[in-house]
Every structure is written in C-alpha cells, then in structure tokens.
Amino acid sequence: MNSNATQSSWGTFVLLAGMLVFAPIAEGQIRITKPAGEKITIQLAGLSGGEDEASRVFLQTLQRNLDRSGWFSVVRAGQAEVSAVGSVQVRRNQLHVQCTVMGTANRQQYLSQSYRHAADDARRLAHRVADDIVEAVTGRKGIASTRILLVGVTDNARELFIMDADGGNLRQLTRDRNIVVRPRWGPTANQLTYTGYLQRFPDVYLVELETGNRTVVANYSGLNSGGVLSPDGRDMAVILSKDGNPELYIKNLRSGRLTRLTNTPRANEASPSWSPDGRQIVYVSDQAGRPHLYIISRDGGAPRRVTSRGTANVAPDWGPNGLIAFSSRIGGRYQIAIMDPQTEQIRYLDTPDHADYEDPSWAPNGRHLVCARRENFRSSIYVLDTVGDPPVRLTQQGGDWFSPAWSPE
C-alpha cells in the first residue's frame, strides 16, 4: 500500500470526522462548528462559587474536564467565544449549581440548567455539567462521566480497579490476592468480564457492578481467556483451548451453546473484539509466524488478515467509530495504530517519546483512547487524543497499572 496515499486518505478522514456539523438545537439556535484540531475558547470566570471544599472541587473538576474534552480551551481572562455564568453553592449538604452558557458575540444561549447533587460527591456533578456543556455547544457526547477499568499491582497480586475518566475516584473492585487479566466492559456500564486465576487456572468471569455479583462464564479444561460480550449482550467471544490449542469461540450466554470459529492446529488465537454491529470479530493469531490481526464473520468462514507491517500486532479494540485501535511493534517499540477495516489503511499515533504504548481502548466519543504506557519496566495509564492533544497521564499513584478499558457510556 502506498504510504503517501494512506496518509492523505487518513488526513481527509480525520478532518471530516472532526468537523462539527451546523445543526439546530432549538428554534433559532445553531452549534459552534470548528475543525477537530481547533479549540472553542470558553470563559468560566462568571461561574462563581463559595469558599467551601465542594464548590472548589466542582469548579476545578469542571475546568479539567472541559480542557481534556478536546473541544474546549478554558481561558482565565480576555475574550472567549463562549462564556459560562451562574452560581455554585452548598445548602444543607447539597451542592446547587445554576449554569448558563452563552455565545459571547451573538449572545446565543446554548445551555441554561439547574443542578443539585450531594456535596460530598461534587466531582460527579462536575462531570455531568461538563458533558452537558460539550453536547450543548458542539453536538458531541462528552466523556467526563464515563469510567475506566484497569489492573493494578498490589501486594504482589494483580487486582481489578475502576476510576473516573479523568483518573480520579480510584477504587479497588477485587481483593482476591491473585491475577486479573484483560478486563472488558459489556454493552452497558454495568457489566464487565475479565480473566482470573482464582482456581489456579485461567477462567472468564462476568461481574454485575450494581450488585457486585460475580459468576464464572467459561471454565472449560485448559485455557479460558479474552472473554468479551457482544454489542447485544447475548453472546461472548472467548478463547478456549479445551480442544487443543487456543481457538476463537462464541458462547451464547442463555443456552451455553459454543460455536467454534477458528481451526488453526499450529497457531494460537487471542484478544477478540466485536465490531460495533456485532457481525464481525477482530482477533490476534500467530498462524503466519508472528502475531497479526484477523477479521472473521460471527457466522464463521475464512478469516481475513488485515495487518502485515511490524513484528507484532496485538490487543485490538474495535471502536464505536468503526475503527480498530491496536498496539503494533515497529522499530523495537510498541506504538498505537488505528486502522480502517474497510480500506485496511493504518495510521500510527505520534507519541513524543520512546516508551511502549499498549492495550488501547476507545472512549465512547470515538476520539480518545486510553492505553498503558511502559518505560523502564514501569507501567502507567495514559489518555491519547487521536486529533492531536498531548498524552495525559491518569494514574498519579505509585505502582504499575495495566490493561485499561473505557466504559461504553
């Protein structure tokens, strides 16, 4: 494939995908439109708060969420394209927020909303307000209220954790003193799967976050790994070695029926990920001698190899935008690559150092990715903006962090 043609086509794709379309949001109203690489300036000085801790946390979190959204640049003084005015007050342990967002030049009103939330959870309210501002002004869904699963090393074990999309509110979900591998969300933000070694051998678990209920959904003889729920939540793609070497299967969760999709006696499969419509699965196989990505129909048939460059292509995630993000070993280090599966054109994200970037996972906005950054044998979690903002580190705590997964909502 001609690299110049690939870059040109990708650049056109990014520009078109990043443009905000003029669209009415109410009679006489239109949203602000800009190319994805340009920011909308917003002034928050008119959103006044008290001296209490909840108001301070709310305003700081709101500013950070808007700055990291990719669409806004928060300015402290001077003229801005959009301004937010209102009040932030604590009354009877409740945080009350009145927020109006207007265009500075045309006095266009994009948002006028009153909010109330528990004062001791000001961060959550800030996430909600930030998402409302992003959608009201740009027409895009915000990601501040989403969450990220990750694996952390604690007491010589790998346990499952969850945190807000900005890295705050980190909480530990498992305390098994064992090993957790590759957590993945289901089609909603209440279900997740992961591979665990509670019984000494790898099994796949399904967790309901609201209840904390955990069940084993794959514990066949041999290897059980890579479990990920289909977009409709009825099936699970999973890697099983019960019939020999690791192969890709689909398990129907209601009936328990297994459908084997691959048959590679001299190779290994790993890391399946569903297409947004649930009709295809991308996965890793070393049947060509090195790990590469393949796509197969959920109904079976011959798989299609979609990568060739690099010494290893692993950890694919098929995003809501129809693109596949994965980790590709090029020039001795792992980089994040993004592929259009229709054209097989690939773009490599420009990361400004020589660290390894691994295990990418798409945000529901189809613009941002979360991944693990590994350097000098230490691993942290970072957010990457596919349009161009610099990487942002989420895990400020010590220790090692791996395998992030961004929630679908």
pLDDT value at position 13? 34
Q: How confident is the model at residue 26 (pLDDT cuts 50, 70, 90)?
A: very low
Pairing outcome for strands 40-49 and 72-75: parallel
Q: For the chain, state the CA radius of gyration.
A: 22
Same domain, 176 and 257: yes
Same domain, 332 and 392: yes
- Looking at residues 67-92, what average pLDDT do you find? 93
pLDDT value at position 107? 87
Which of 64-68, 133-137, 331-335, 394-398 is least confident? 394-398
pLDDT value at position 36? 67
Asked if the structure places residue 249 within a domain, the reply is yes
Q: What sign results for the dihedral spanned by CA atoms 324, 203, 402, 308?
A: negative
Please state the length of the chain.
409
Asked if the structure places residue 342 within a domain, the reply is yes
- Looking at residues 336-355, what average pLDDT do you find? 95
Domain CATH for 278: 2.120.10.30
Asked if the structure places residue 7 within a domain, the reply is no
Asked if the structure places residue 296 within a domain, the reply is yes
CB-based contacts of 97, cutoff 8 Å, min separation 6: 58, 86, 87, 88, 89, 114, 115, 116, 117, 125, 129
pLDDT value at position 316? 98
pLDDT value at position 407? 98
Asked if the structure places residue 233 within a domain, the reply is yes
pLDDT value at position 397? 84
User: Which stretch of DSSP H or E encloses residue 107?
Assistant: none
pLDDT value at position 380? 97
If one compares 271 and 25, the residue with the highest pLDDT of the two is: 271
Phi, psi angles (nearest 5°) of residue 388: 150, -10
If one compares 20 and 80, the residue with the highest pLDDT of the two is: 80
- Return the percentage of the chain with pLDDT > 90, whole number: 84
User: Looking at the predicted structure, is the pLDDT value of residue 54 above 70?
Assistant: yes
Residue finishing a domain among 138, 163, 189: 138
pLDDT value at position 105? 87
- Looking at residues 39-44, what average pLDDT do you find? 95
Same domain, 154 and 133: no
pLDDT value at position 180? 96
Same domain, 246 and 320: yes
- Looking at residues 66-80, what average pLDDT do you find? 91
Asked if the structure places residue 130 within a domain, the reply is yes
CB 214 within 8 A of CB 198: no
Residue 103 forms beta bridges with which residues? Answer: 82
Phi, psi angles (nearest 5°) of residue 22: -60, 125
Residue finishing a domain among 77, 109, 138: 138
**Number of domains the chain is built from:** 2
Q: How confident is the model at residue 398 (pLDDT cuts 50, 70, 90)?
A: confident
pLDDT value at position 352? 81
Same domain, 199 and 258: yes
Same domain, 164 and 274: yes
Same domain, 151 and 110: no
Q: How confident is the model at residue 29 (pLDDT cuts 50, 70, 90)?
A: low
Asked if the structure places residue 57 within a domain, the reply is yes
Which of 18-32, 108-122, 212-226 is least confident? 18-32
pTM above 0.95, yes or no: no
Same domain, 61 and 186: no
Residue finishing a domain among 91, 120, 138: 138
CB-based contacts of 177, cutoff 8 Å, min separation 6: 155, 157, 159
pLDDT value at position 153? 95
Q: For residues 342 and 237, give the distance between their C-alpha atoms in angstroms, rounded to a whole number.
A: 22
- Looking at residues 80-91, what average pLDDT do you find? 95
Residue with tokens 């003084």: 77
Same domain, 107 and 199: no
User: Which stretch of DSSP H or E encloses residue 132?
Assistant: helix 122-138
pLDDT value at position 15? 31
- Return the percentage of the chain with pLDDT > 70, whole number: 92
Q: How confident is the model at residue 82 (pLDDT cuts 50, 70, 90)?
A: very high
Same domain, 269 and 326: yes
- Looking at residues 248-269, what average pLDDT do you find? 97
Domain CATH for 84: 3.40.50.10070
- Return the number of other C-beta atoms located less than 10 Å from residue 26's C-beta: 8
Same domain, 127 and 169: no
Asked if the structure places residue 23 within a domain, the reply is no
pLDDT value at position 20? 30
pLDDT value at position 326? 98
If one compares 397 and 146, the residue with the highest pLDDT of the two is: 146
Q: How confident is the model at residue 10 (pLDDT cuts 50, 70, 90)?
A: very low
Query: Strand, helix or coil at 315?
Result: strand
CB 181 within 8 A of CB 403: yes
User: Looking at the predicted structure, is the pLDDT value of residue 30 above 90?
Assistant: no
Same domain, 178 and 304: yes
Domain that holds residue 195: 147-406
User: Which stretch of DSSP H or E encloses residue 224?
Assistant: strand 224-229
